[in-house]
Structure 1
Amino acid sequence: MSISWQHDPVIHRLTQVLPPPEPYPYQDTYLFLLDSVISQQLSTKVADVIYKRFLKLFPEGYPLPELLQEMPVEYLREVGLSTAKANYVKNIASFHREHSLYFEHLHSMPDEEILALLTQIKGVGPWTVQMVLMFPLNRPDVFPIDDLVIRQQISRWYSLTENGKELRRQMTAIAENWRPHRTLACKYLWKAKNLPATSI
């Protein structure tokens, strides 16, 4: 599908100098949610190590919700999770057993319903749910306004100097031009993180 970005010169130019974002290869929304919570506020390298250790706690490397729910926090702490994160992943497992967090259950729900459902889980905030929507669920029109890189990239490429509420207002206005493809625009901005300014 060809998308015209002529109404936004920045995104249009990024699509000319960057390869298209690869589609996310997995649809396991439950596992993605666990990974996202474990990875919060960690470098990619450290998060990857802890996540792999976490998976090794379970038969065949898969954290079945009933096993995770029953696992002592001490075991989760031993592989590098904080006490808070250990409780958060157990919360996800408990919620999954009651409501089903699998792709097959979530994919038919509107974005707003998924956001309302998943933010009931202690430890899961709007940003985490937006990542679930953008990647395994592949929803086309999500705008994670509180994502640090997105905020930095919009400020950089659109020459914004505002802060706080005014920055949010400006970002929201810019993102309106990307509808109904805000997800794709954000993926290009993420890819442009290390792109020299002279490239566009």
Structure 2
Amino acid sequence: MEEPDPHKALASREPAFARLIATYGPQDPFVWHDGGRTGKSLFAALLLHITGQRISALAGFTLFDRIAAAADGIPTPEVVQGLGVSRLRSMGLSNTKAECAVALAGAQTHGTLDLDALADVDDRAVVDTLTSVRGIGQWTAQAFLMRQLHRPDVLPADDMGLRQAVQHQWRLGHLPTVGEVRTRGAAWSPYRSYASALLWRSLKPVGELSDPKERALYHLGGPTGARPS
């Protein structure tokens, strides 16, 4: 049986998505703009998510690159654990991020966390597992679900950009709460990752890069691919 097309399904349910697809074309929610920094390492990818929390993508890349330089390559749990909180702080990480990175590395090294095994775990359990690590919140866990595990039904409802996009596309007179986004987004299941990608794309005009990491790579002269239509 042929799999349904997520974009066609969303367009049939919501005129807003039909408009966005007509304007921007289908959007891939699983694309990961890291410039090759993390390779196939789920640990390194999650570390990049952590370094980029609450700062610009360019600054997040800078912090990650300092760790990679100390690791002489793609950072491993053993290297990050060996660097320790104080060394990571000297590289510019906040105390919270440094502690989170070391906690993540320790959990992976000691076997209390197996990132590779999460491919066989349902979405809720993945979020619960990741957020049990000190410093990893729901947004980071959901970003990992979408970008690394390629789950099709992720809605980061507390993302400010997503909330702003919902306000604009549905012409709301107020910024929707997290709960309001979740309620509205229930109708988009099981394709909420695709809905999220379309809404994020709507934050920038046609012809401008919308993904913060992609824009950072373009600034750095790294591989971004062609500019979107």
Regarding TM over 0.5, the answer is yes
TM-score in terms of structure 1 length:
0.87
Tell me the alpha carbon deviations over residues 48-104 of structure 1, each in whole angstroms, 9 at most, x when there is no partner.
112111211103x1222122112132321232111221111001101112234433x
Of 6, 18, 38, which aligns to 2:24?
Answer: 18
Contact 2:43 2:76 in 1 (8 A): no
Q: Check whether the contact 1:30–1:101 (CA below 8 A) recurs between aligned residues.
A: no
CA spacing shift, 1:15–1:101, aligned 2, 3 Å? farther
Per the alignment, residue 91 of structure 2 pairs with: 79
State the distance in 2 between where 1:140 and 1:27 align: 20
Structure 1 residues 12-161: aligned runs within 5 Å = 12-22=18-28, 23-24=30-31, 28-59=41-72, 61-97=73-109, 98-103=111-116, 105-161=117-173
How many correspondences in the alignment? Answer: 192
SS, match of residue 171 in structure 2: coil
Deviations 1:98-144 (A, max 9, x none): 234433x1110001111111111010011110001111101011111
CA distance in 2, matches of 1:21, 1:29: 23
Cα RMSD (Å) of the superposition? 1.9
Query: Partner amino acid for 1:44?
Result: A
SS of 2:188 mapped into structure 1? coil
Q: Which has the higher contact order (CA 8 A, sep 6+)?
A: 1
Share of identical aligned residues, percent? 27
Contact 2:16 2:169 in 1 (8 A): yes
TM-score with structure 2 setting the length: 0.77
Q: Work out whether residues 27 and 137 of structure 1, in 8 Å CA contact, stay in contact via their aligned partners in 2.
A: no
The answer to whether the 8 Å contact 1:160/1:167 transfers is no
- Note if contact 1:18-1:191 (Cα within 8 Å) is conserved in structure 2: yes
